């Protein structure tokens, strides 16, 4: 009886167009945000279960938030605009390395012109956001082929981005400030005088990024631009005939998606990894992101969170459960099992429920609204 | 001035390794033509076939079988594995997804890739397994013409030979068998083919089986060259740009694309690589494919597509 | 039916020819569409009717000839330019955005009228929200007009065919077009649905004053609805005139009414 919308009449279109038109959903979201922003940090500060150590924050919540952010970005391109991308990892890398360069100062000697371009080290927030912008720029560049080629061809174009930037960051020492090992250390995370250091602070930082991005992204996808993206995805020819310019729709999708993925990449490098190598953003990362989006739900912001959580939790469970049962698995077996589980799940969901777990959840909610009388 | 001899040597070496890309690309084209599926899993199929073969060989030889018997049995075993795989894929994935859009099918083959990679390594192990089916030493030719002659790997020649036989065999199969003709009908229009009584799921099984056997052939050559190991899947991935360059639906295109990529990346690596840091081979094929896409989206040998509404 | 008051020509098709390889889909076709009329284009299967519509809204580029729309002549243009010029279109096989609700489909038709850009839409606050609400008002009027209030939030893929056709009409109307092209709006409908659709077409014409060009197979419908009829056969225009004139035309009877059907 709790989940009812009786007597919740909407008297304006604005109310009908709210993110969560049903009051119970709004309350639930409020509670969730309250727990995330206040509850968890309090528990963690006082080391109350399950926050005995920092494990939960470091190993689960932090990567969850950042990957969810990257998944939102990927979902905008793949789920909403229908442009397949196997290069999200590369765009994370572009975000990370651009932010790194900007935060440590850019120096481009142009000897033959007799001068050099020098930008002093920028504040960390500006670096991260500009890193996202750099990714957006490259995203637009690699989106241009999407105007002439469709679907599968684009998969190869984005693979080109993936392999090319893998190589660039590995082989062009300028990007790593000539670090002999090729590994890069994040600059100090100083936000307007506040230095982010402890796991709780890092968690809150990422949570803020994710919350703001999720809201803005949700606004976009339910506005006119979102409808343009989905129109291109569902039937590009009809979209064009109602006045949607494929150029604008596709390139904005590439730009917004790459921006978010780029910011996620910068956070992944600066806040989660601390020091990293190009390997952190390989093709495997791209495929992981694609899987999160398919499993969570193509064309669903909420699904991006569900997918990220799932991809993170499965390997942990594969480690934990057999160990608890007294038959610990080797790391190799876990990796293989994980591949098999993800692969079969992808196939299963594509066949049974192409819109992923998010769709299953909304079907569940639909049933709950009518429960116990389904008619 | 670059020595002509060196250039020729690089070119020949490149063309020969291009043949290997063509071998994998052939599998892609077969499946794409017959079912419109862009099969990301072709690389995983090469890995699976290679692992099945090499592990069976090791086991049989350890059991004291003579070498030729081990090879026959081993190939039979690997072929059986590929047949089972083809059957399962048709039954569980491609069959239920009939009439879905190309993107969904493509993503499902990424799922299949993961399952195949996980299962193959879990069952057959995940080390590097050397395979010795073909000679791996080299000839030196034209020693009179160029100082030191030109080096040609015997294995590469074997690879080219096998690829040639394979293409000829496939051509015969398509032109002169009932299944082959049915296959071409399905490729043209699977609904129409279905309505004249061609059993679609059987045809798709055959296609995946043939692609699996092509993967097995590719695995024997590559396994001999590099040992059977996981990184084969990355090399196999290069068949994707090869296809884009050659055109998705064209068997000659797959061959030509493979040769272009093979020769191009070797030449770029040797003559351009040192000046920009090396490792160009890693991305050359993809960036070349991107360039081709921008100029000629249907590929060098593909057919132009007319859109209808 | 009462003919429109004005003789002003909205669209002039002049000597248009189009070929696909060896197939000549259209040969030297000329006709015009007057402002405010309902103009039918009929002909047997393969006569080139849909190709003609595709040429008009820029999806195909004619090999020869020119199109003059609202006084501007052009040989080539992109589909979205046609849309911007005020040409809307429905399709023979419903071309809705399958993953979206009926409401979102029609809202998508408002794209050209949206003024606020990416950043405003992202904030969805103040003027951006006000604009969104205003478009929603316009769309709700169309929804009322087409009597599809009950299904506005249903994903269109789940709707029956007749309703999908109606949503598609709604999407075209949301563009507030000057010229509405309807490609077999009644194909596959039962009698009752056809009557509904005819009523909507007449109402659109009367109520909004929209000029309509339609392709239709059902002769009774065409003769009742339209002011003037052009007949195509094998890519050639064989007759043009009022429904009565066309009905009496011997070439038409041979090509279409008598022989083919």
Q: Nearest CA of chain A to the CA of B178: how many Å?
A: 31
Q: How many domains is chain C partitioned into structurally?
A: 2
Task: State the ipTM, two decimals.
Answer: 0.90
Identify all chain A residues contacting B110, using CB atoms and an 8 Å cutoff: 287, 290, 343, 346
**Cα(C224)–Cα(C231) distance, rounded to whole angstroms?**
16
Range of the domain at A288: 55-370
Residue A237 belongs to a domain: yes
Phi, psi of C128 (to 5 degrees): -65, -45
- Containing C18, the helix (H) or strand (E) segment is strand C9-20
**Are residues A173 and A60 both part of a single domain?**
yes
**Is B168 within 8 Å of chain A by CB?**
no
Question: Among A155, A290, A346, whose Cβ lies nearest the Cβ of B108?
Answer: A346
Q: How many domains is chain A partitioned into structurally?
A: 2
Residue C94 belongs to a domain: no
Interface test with A, best of C97, C167, C181 (most A CBs within 10 A): C97
pLDDT number for residue B305: 54
Say which residue, B281 or C226, is predicted with more confidence. C226
Beta bridge partners of A116: A109
Question: Is it the case that residue B304 has pLDDT exceeding 70?
Answer: no
Report pLDDT digits (tens) over B26-79: 888 888 877 778 888 988 999 999 999 999 999 999 998 888 899 999 999 999
CB A234 within 8 A of CB C100: yes
Phi, psi of C179 (to 5 degrees): -130, 125
**Are residues A47 and A127 both part of a single domain?**
no
**Cα(A297)–Cα(A85) distance, rounded to whole angstroms?**
15
**Is C121 within 8 Å of chain A by CB?**
yes
**Are residues C81 and C184 both part of a single domain?**
yes
**Are residues A30 and A133 both part of a single domain?**
no
Using CB atoms within 10 A of its CB, is residue C28 exposed (0-12), middle (13-18) or buried (19+)?
A: middle
Q: Nearest CA of chain C to the CA of B218: how many Å?
A: 39
Q: Check CB contact under 8 Å for A350 and B111.
A: yes
Query: Which chain C residue has the Cα nearest residue A12?
Result: C133
Q: Nearest CA of chain A to the CA of B148: how many Å?
A: 33
CB A271 within 8 A of CB A208: no
Residue C260 belongs to a domain: yes
pLDDT number for residue B1: 44
**Are residues A176 and A162 both part of a single domain?**
yes
Q: Check CB contact under 8 Å for B118 and A164.
A: no
Residue A252 belongs to a domain: yes
Find the mean pLDDT for residues A321-336.
86
Kindly report the CA angle at B284 between B298 and A178, in degrees rounded to 5? 145
Phi, psi of B118 (to 5 degrees): -60, -50
Report pLDDT digits (tens) over C58-113: 888 888 888 898 888 876 778 888 898 899 999 888 899 998 999 999 999 999 99
Where a domain ends, among C117, C147, C172? C172
Where a domain ends, among C172, C203, C236? C172
Beta bridge partners of C182: C214
pLDDT number for residue C249: 85
Identify all chain A residues contacting C123, using CB atoms and an 8 Å cutoff: 216, 219
Where a domain ends, among C172, C204, C220? C172
Identify all chain A residues contacting B97, using CB atoms and an 8 Å cutoff: 350-351
**Is A208 within 8 Å of chain C by CB?**
no
Q: Which of A6-15, A21-30, A165-174 has the lowest mean pLDDT?
A: A6-15
Tokens describing residue B51? 């692992």
**Are residues C57 and C10 both part of a single domain?**
yes
**Are residues A136 and A25 both part of a single domain?**
no
Quick check: helix, strand or coil at residue A68? helix
**Are residues A107 and A136 both part of a single domain?**
yes
Report pLDDT digits (tens) over C177-210: 999 999 998 888 888 888 999 999 999 999 888 9
pTM of the entire structure? 0.90
Range of the domain at C32: 1-86+177-261
Question: Among A219, A224, A234, whose Cβ lies nearest the Cβ of C114?
Answer: A224
Q: Check CB contact under 8 Å for C59 and B309.
A: yes
Would you place residue A375 in the very low, low, confident or very high pLDDT band (cuts 50, 70, 90)?
A: low
Find the mean pLDDT for residues C219-226.
85
Q: Check CB contact under 8 Å for A84 and B103.
A: yes
CA-based nearest residue to B85, from B29, B45, B54 = B45
Report pLDDT digits (tens) over C7-18: 788 999 998 999
**Cα(A148)–Cα(A4) distance, rounded to whole angstroms?**
48
**Are residues C162 and C182 both part of a single domain?**
no
Question: Is it the case that residue B274 has pLDDT exceeding 80?
Answer: no
Count of CB contacts below 8 A, A vs B?
A: 130
Is-cis flag, bond preceding C106, omega within 30?
A: no
Interface test with C, best of A237, A243, A254 (most C CBs within 10 A): A243
Would you place residue B309 in the very low, low, confident or very high pLDDT band (cuts 50, 70, 90)?
A: very low
**Are residues A293 and A341 both part of a single domain?**
yes
**Are residues C181 and C261 both part of a single domain?**
yes
Q: What is the DSSP letter of C188?
A: T
Question: Among C78, C133, C175, whose Cβ lies nearest the Cβ of A13?
Answer: C133
**Are residues A29 and A137 both part of a single domain?**
no
Please state which CATH number belongs to domain B4-295.
1.10.3470
Question: Among C100, C121, C136, whose Cβ lies nearest the Cβ of A13?
Answer: C136
Identify all chain B residues contacting C92, using CB atoms and an 8 Å cutoff: 309
Find the mean pLDDT for residues B85-105.
87
**Cα(C112)–Cα(C221) distance, rounded to whole angstroms?**
32
Report pLDDT digits (tens) over B185-209: 777 777 777 777 778 888 889 889 9
Residue A13 belongs to a domain: no
pLDDT number for residue B233: 85
**Are residues C41 and C111 both part of a single domain?**
no
Would you place residue C260 in the very low, low, confident or very high pLDDT band (cuts 50, 70, 90)?
A: very low
Q: Exposure pattern of B231-259 as b/e (b: 16+ CB <10 Å)?
A: ebbebbbbbbbbbbbbbbbbbebbbbbbb
Residues 215-244 of A with CB under 8 A from C: 216, 219-220, 222-225, 227-228, 230-231, 233-235, 237-244
Count of CB contacts below 8 A, A vs C?
A: 106
**Are residues C158 and C186 both part of a single domain?**
no
**Is B115 within 8 Å of chain A by CB?**
yes
**Is A85 within 8 Å of chain C by CB?**
no
CA-based nearest residue to A175, from A285, A74, A281 = A281
**Are residues A266 and A181 both part of a single domain?**
yes
Neighbours of chain B (3+ CB pairs under 8 A): A, C
Report pLDDT digits (tens) over A283-307: 999 999 999 998 898 899 999 999 9
Q: Check CB contact under 8 Å for A347 and B113.
A: no
Q: Nearest CA of chain A to the CA of C237: how many Å?
A: 26
What average pLDDT does chain B have?
Answer: 83
Question: Among A160, A167, A339, whose Cβ lies nearest the Cβ of B114?
Answer: A339
Q: Check CB contact under 8 Å for C91 and B309.
A: yes
**Is B111 within 8 Å of chain A by CB?**
yes
Phi, psi of C58 (to 5 degrees): 80, 5
Phi, psi of A182 (to 5 degrees): 80, -5
Residue C105 belongs to a domain: yes
**Cα(A363)–Cα(A358) distance, rounded to whole angstroms?**
9
Kindly report the CA angle at B224 between B218 and B230, in degrees rounded to 5? 70
Residue ranges of domains in chain B? 4-295
**Are residues C1 and C82 both part of a single domain?**
yes
Q: Exposure pattern of A239-260 as b/e (b: 16+ CB <10 Å)?
A: bbbbbbbbeebbbbbbbbbbbb
Residue C48 belongs to a domain: yes
Please report, for the domain that includes residue C59, its CATH number: 3.40.50.300
Q: Which of A163-177, B72-86, C33-47, C247-261 has the lowest mean pLDDT?
A: C247-261
pLDDT number for residue A53: 74
Q: Check CB contact under 8 Å for A152 and B122.
A: no
Interface test with B, best of A163, A289, A352 (most B CBs within 10 A): A163
**Are residues A44 and A176 both part of a single domain?**
no
Identify all chain A residues contacting C142, using CB atoms and an 8 Å cutoff: none
**Are residues A197 and A277 both part of a single domain?**
yes
Query: Which chain A residue has the Cα nearest residue B106?
Result: A152
Question: Is it the case that residue C41 has pLDDT exceeding 50?
Answer: yes
């Amino acid at each position: 009886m709790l989940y009812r919308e009786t007597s919740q009449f909407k008297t304006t279109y604005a109310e009908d167009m709210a993110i969560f038109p049903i009051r119970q959903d709004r309350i639930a979201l409020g509670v969730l945000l309250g727990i995330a922003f206040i509850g968890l940090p309090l528990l963690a500060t006082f080391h109350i279960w399950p926050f005995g150590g920092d494990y939960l924050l470091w190993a689960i919540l932090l990567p969850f938030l950042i990957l969810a952010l990257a998944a939102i970005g990927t979902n905008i391109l793949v789920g909403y605009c229908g442009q397949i991308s196997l290069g999200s990892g590369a765009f994370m890398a572009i975000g990370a390395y651009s932010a790194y360069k900007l935060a440590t100062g850019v120096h481009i000697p142009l000897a033959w012109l007799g001068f050099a371009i020098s930008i002093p080290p920028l504040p960390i927030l500006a670096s991260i956001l500009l890193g996202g912008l750099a990714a957006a720029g490259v995203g637009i560049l690699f989106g241009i082929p999407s105007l002439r080629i469709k679907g599968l061809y684009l998969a190869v174009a984005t693979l080109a981005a993936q392999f090319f930037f893998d190589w660039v960051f590995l082989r062009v020492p300028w990007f790593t400030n000539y670090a002999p090992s090729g590994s890069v250390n994040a600059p100090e995370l100083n936000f307007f005088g506040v230095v982010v250091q402890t796991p709780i602070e890092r968690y809150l930082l990422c949570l803020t990024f994710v919350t703001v991005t999720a809201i803005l992204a949700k606004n976009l996808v339910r506005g006119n631009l979102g409808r343009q993206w989905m129109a291109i995805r569902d039937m590009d020819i009809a979209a064009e005939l109602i006045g949607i310019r494929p150029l604008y729709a596709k390139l904005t999708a590439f730009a917004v998606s790459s921006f978010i993925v780029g910011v996620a990449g910068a956070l992944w490098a600066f806040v989660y990894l601390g020091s990293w190598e190009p390997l952190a953003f390989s093709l495997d990362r791209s495929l992981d992101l694609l899987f999160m989006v398919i499993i969570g739900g193509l064309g669903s912001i909420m699904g991006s969170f569900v997918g990220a959580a799932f991809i993170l939790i499965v390997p942990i469970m594969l480690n934990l459960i057999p160990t608890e049962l007294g038959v610990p698995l080797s790391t190799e077996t876990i990796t293989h099992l994980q591949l098999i589980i993800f692969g079969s799940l992808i196939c299963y969901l594509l066949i049974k429920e192409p819109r992923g777990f998010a769709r299953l959840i909304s079907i569940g909610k639909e049933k709950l609204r009518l429960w116990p009388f389904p008619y | 001035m670059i020595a002509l001899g060196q250039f020729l040597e690089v070119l020949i070496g490149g063309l020969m390794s291009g043949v290997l890309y063509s071998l994998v690309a052939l599998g892609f084209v077969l499946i794409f033509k017959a079912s419109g599926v862009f099969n990301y899993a072709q690389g995983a199929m090469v890995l699976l076939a290679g692992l099945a073969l090499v592990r069976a060989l090791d086991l049989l030889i350890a059991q004291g079988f003579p070498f030729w018997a081990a090879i026959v049995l081993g190939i039979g075993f690997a072929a059986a594995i590929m047949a089972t795989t083809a059957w399962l894929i048709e039954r569980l994935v491609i069959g239920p997804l009939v009439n879905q859009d190309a993107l969904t099918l493509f993503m499902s083959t990424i799922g299949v890739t993961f399952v195949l990679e996980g299962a193959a390594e879990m069952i057959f192990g995940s080390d590097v397994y050397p395979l010795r089916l073909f000679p791996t030493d080299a000839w030196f030719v034209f020693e009179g013409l160029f100082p030191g002659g030109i080096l040609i790997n015997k294995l590469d020649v074997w690879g080219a030979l096998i690829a040639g036989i394979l293409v000829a065999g496939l051509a015969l199969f398509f032109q002169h068998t009932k299944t082959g003709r049915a296959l071409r009908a399905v490729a043209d229009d699977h609904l129409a083919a279905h309505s004249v009584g061609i059993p679609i799921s059987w045809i798709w099984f055959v296609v995946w089986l043939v692609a699996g056997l092509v993967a097995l052939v590719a695995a024997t050559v590559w396994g001999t060259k590099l040992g059977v190991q996981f990184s084969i899947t990355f090399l196999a991935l290069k068949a994707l740009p090869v296809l884009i360059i050659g055109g998705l639906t064209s068997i000659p295109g797959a061959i030509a694309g493979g040769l272009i990529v093979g020769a191009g990346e070797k030449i770029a690596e040797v003559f351009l690589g040192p000046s920009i840091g090396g490792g160009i081979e890693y991305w050359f094929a993809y960036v070349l494919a991107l360039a081709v896409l921008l100029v000629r989206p249907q590929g060098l040998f593909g057919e132009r597509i007319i859109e209808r509404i | 039916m009462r003919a429109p008051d004005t003789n002003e020509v909205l669209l002039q098709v002049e000597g248009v020819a189009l070929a696909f390889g060896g197939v000549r889909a259209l040969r030297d076709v000329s006709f015009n569409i007057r402002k405010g009329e309902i103009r039918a284009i009929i002909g047997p299967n393969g006569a080139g009717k849909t190709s003609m519509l595709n040429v008009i809204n820029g999806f195909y580029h004619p090999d020869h000839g020119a199109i003059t729309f609202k006084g501007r002549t052009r040989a080539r243009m992109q589909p979205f330019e046609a849309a911007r010029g005020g040409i809307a279109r429905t399709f023979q096989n419903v071309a809705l955005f399958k993953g979206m609700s009926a409401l979102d489909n029609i809202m998508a038709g408002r794209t050209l009228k949206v003024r606020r850009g990416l950043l405003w839409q992202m904030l969805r606050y103040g003027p951006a929200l006000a604009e969104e609400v205003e478009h929603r008002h316009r769309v709700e009027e169309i929804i009322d007009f087409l009597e599809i209030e009950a299904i506005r939030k249903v994903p269109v893929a789940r709707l029956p065919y007749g309703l999908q056709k109606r949503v598609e009409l709604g999407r075209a109307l949301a563009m507030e077009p000057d010229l509405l092209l309807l490609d077999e709006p009644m194909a596959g409908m039962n009698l009752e649905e056809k009557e509904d659709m005819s009523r909507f077409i007449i109402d659109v014409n009367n109520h909004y004053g929209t000029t309509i060009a339609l392709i239709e197979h059902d002769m009774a419908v065409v003769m009742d609805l339209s002011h003037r009829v052009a007949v195509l056969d094998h890519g050639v225009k064989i007759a043009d005139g009022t429904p009565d004139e066309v009905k009496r035309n011997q070439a038409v009877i041979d090509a279409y009414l008598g022989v083919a059907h």
